Structure 1
Amino acid sequence: MTQESAGFRVSTLELFFDLVFVFTVMQLSETFADDFSAGGLLDVVLILLVLWWMYSGYAWLTNAVGPTSSGRRTLLLAGMAGFLVMALAIPEAFGDYGWIFGTAYVVVNVVHSVLFLHGGPGAVRMMRTLGPLNLLAAGLVLAGGLLPEPYRHLCWIAAPLVQIGGGYLHAIEMHAITAAHFVERHALVMIIAIGESIIAIGLGFRDVRLDGGTILVAVLGLGIAYYLWWCYFAGDDKRSEEVLAHVTDPRRRSRLALNAWGYAHLPMLLGIVVMAVGIKKTVGHAFEPLHWGPAFALSGGVALYLLGHAGFLRLLRLPGIPYRLVTAAAVLATAPLGHMLAVAQLVAIPLIMAAGAIAEDLPRVRRLGMAAAIGDFGRGQ
């Protein structure tokens, strides 16, 4: 553990902020479940892109400007209110509530820029480029909420393109990344998102009579969520912190933080949303064939999560990538099982994920066992 890794940790106010943000993930699951179509998925992707960019922006913000004063905490509360209003507007973000979503998004961006100005002269210089680009993206989202089609979707597509461009146009090396805080902040939002997926699945049980089939779906859904947790938290979160902490060049560290915790986490979050919808579609139909759409949502959501984590490991040059790729392919191949019988796919996915976890752990267990044996032999001598 490096000296930096023992630095400051995430505050309870930041955790509170994350809880508000992750409500948007649950709302995305509900929205996609209600509009289960290619167009509905596109809308979910566009909303998630702009939401995740600004959530990441706040993670970078509090990494540099802690909520240590009443003024900063009040501004952070205003940002939380913006995220809450956006979450409430998500079901109609491309409809009647588009202007509400857009207005709240502008508020979130303005608060972010104002708070970053408390980060010192370097942050002020950096925000001269990044701040206007973020506000331009927010303006495009607001314009999309006010304009008719096709301009509405064109504005929504342009907004994340502006944000991605902003990641390369501003002086990214001016960010001061504290690895311990930065990694923990993203790990917390991931565990909350996985937990929110269970809540989203649970909401699918409203007005459904509990019987053996529905209880089995609930338990198997929990098993799938558990292996999503295992994939991210079975040591790779700690190893990733060490990797980031050992990158000393400011530009390389900031670029790695953006790529690994920004872009690579997007498919994981989207996978959680899609997987939750796939499981919800099996509620009440466990012993019936699934349509191809829900079957591919269930397997595809898990596979997308695993591929996102494989990309995360690749960026950090950590082991485990082949296991993620093979497991993702095997999980994706379960869709025909669901098309024949929903419960068959629900059983197969956690079994495949468990097999992948065991296969990945075996070499480590053998190494530890051998090391212990050698140690015992040495003490015996």
Structure 2
Amino acid sequence: MQPQIKEHTHGTAHALVDQSEQELRVSTLELFFDLVFVFTITQLASLLARDLSAAAAAQVCLIFIVLFWMYGGYAWLTNQVPPVSTMRRVLLIAGMAAFFVCALSVPRAFSGTGLVFGVGYLLVVLVHGGLYAQVHGRAVLRFVPFNAAGAACIIIASQLNGALVYVLWAAPIALQYAASYLAGRVGENQRAGFDVRPGHFVERHGGLLIVAFGESVVGVGIGLADLTLDLKTVITAVLGLVLAAALWWVYFGSDEKQAEAHLRAAAMNDRVRMALVGYFYAFVPMLLGVTSLAAGVKLTISTIDARLSLGPALLLGGGVALYLVGDSIFRRTMRIPGSVYRLSAAAVAAATVVLGTMLAGLAQLLGLLLTVAAMLVLEARNR
């Protein structure tokens, strides 16, 4: 059933009044959009697996943050304006295509396809601005200039070399922070589209996270195609799957439902802040953690019974640690108790790098799995 939306025109802006917030669910087109976006995560994991340098890690972080910011812009917009009309659907598909172009250019975004990425990103920004302006009019001027300036920085960076390239890639992130600060200051203006429908918002981001987990598992499975399917390979693949399932449990065990309830109970200004911090700033390390873990498992499969080099061990331990730190930030933001367990487990996860480099990849994977499982058991006992 489609949600019933009434539109009231006030000058150039439109106020949307949701007659049944509980009926507003994530549409299949939005899920399709998320699948395309998660291809970016797959590309970033492959980039990490091919290049374990600090430069590659910095590139992955920069690419992901600038793209995830715009993903959040689309998610926030469809939370306010469901894609039920033909024009909105066409524009959303156009935005999807622009994201796909960006994802395709990820592997060499800093060394050859930066211009393609920059143009694709500019299209992402412009399509989002067009969708937003269609409903909220001139309120679009509060953030589109920041996003467009960020895209221009990336395009300029594609024509340069050296450290300045990284500075220009970091510029959009600073501009995004400025835009989010502005959004927080105008959060009381619901007609500007800065309110949040909790049910849809939580469902949308939960769906993104589960698709990211799924893509990481698929990526590992594809990586097995060229390997002999012996016992150690099967054990590694299964351990990677079970570890991903444990991390799924970390968030979906209780966080999702409690987050929705607390968002729903919050005043509008507070709800906007909670949504921004919880589903952007906290989700950045969570999704980067999934990306890092996927890359680490890919590199570990063929050497599961041997000592790991520092790079793969850092990807495994750091990936789980990042995810748990992000979830801890998420819990504190959403006023869910128990974040201290997540931080403690993150520290232990980071320490498992020693297991990988001194013993074997199998030992580190087992250590990570036991760490997350023990954390979940302790939390359950102390509720």
Give the structure-2-normalised TM-score: 0.90
- Which amino acid in the other structure matches residue 162 of structure 1? L
| Runs of 4 or more above 3 Å deviation | none
Q: Is the 8 A contact 2:79 2:201 kept in 1?
A: yes
* In 2: Cα distance, 1:35 partner to 1:24 partner: 16
User: Shift of the alpha carbon at 1:4?
Assistant: 7.2
1:67 aligns with 2:80: no
Partner of 2:141: 128
- Tell me which of 157, 169, 177 is aligned to 1:156: 169
Q: Name which of 237, 240, 244 aligns with 1:221.
A: 240
Superposition RMSD in Å: 1.4
Aligned to 1:235: 254
Amino acid at match of 1:18: D
Distance 2:271 2:144 in 1: 21
Moved more, 292-301 or 264-273: 292-301
Q: Secondary structure at the match of 1:205?
A: helix
Residue type matched to 2:71 in 1?
Y
Alignment partner of 2:224 out of 184, 187, 205: 205
Match of residue 182, structure 2, among 147, 164, 169: 169
CA displacement at 1:124 relative to structure 2: 2.6
* Structure 2, gaps ≥5 residues long: 1-18
How far apart, in 1, do the equivalents of 2:148 and 2:360 lie?
Answer: 48
* CA distances 1:120-172 after superposition (whole Å, capped 9, x unpaired): xxx33431121111111111122222333333222101111111111112423
* 1:285-314, Cα deviation, whole Å (9 max, x unpaired): 111000122112101110110010000001
How many equivalent residue pairs? 358
State the 1:5 CA deviation.
Answer: 6.4
1:140 to 153, 168, 179: 153
What residue identity is the alignment partner of 2:258? R
Instruction: Determine the structure 1 residue equivalent to 2:93.
Output: 77
- Where 1:146 maps in the other structure, the secondary structure is coil
**Alpha-carbon distance between aligned partners in 2 of 1:125 and 1:243, rounded to the nearest angstrom:** 31
1:247 aligns with 2:293: no
Rounded to whole Å, the distance in 2 between the matches of 1:31 and 1:21 is 16
Residue of structure 2 equivalent to 1:256: 274
Residues 313 and 320 of structure 1 are in contact (CA less than 8 Å); yes or no, is this contact kept in structure 2?
yes
Deviation at 1:95, TM superposition (A): 1.4
Q: CA deviation at 1:334?
A: 1.4
Q: Provide, for residues 80-109 of structure 1, a one-character-per-residue CA deviation record: whole Å limited to 9, x for no partner.
A: 001111111000111111110110100010
Matched, 1:332 2:350: yes
Which ranges of structure 1 fall in alignment gaps of 5 or more residues?
365-381
Shift of 1:209: 1.1
**Amino acid in the other structure paired with 1:172:** G
| Residue number in structure 1 paired with 2:67 | 51
* 2:296 corresponds to 1:281: no
DSSP 3-state at the match of 2:229: coil
> What is the DSSP-based 3-state SS (H/G/I as helix, E as strand, rest coil) of the residue aligned with 1:283?
helix
SS at match of 2:78: helix
Distance 1:44 1:212 in 2: 33
1:267 and 2:282 equivalent? no
The partner residue of 2:319 within 287, 301, 314 is: 301
Partner letter of residue 48 of structure 2?
F
Deviations 1:5-62 (A, max 9, x none): 6241110100000000001001000011111111100000000010110000000110
1:247–1:253: 8 Å Cα contact kept in structure 2? yes
Query: 1:29: which partner in 2?
Result: 45
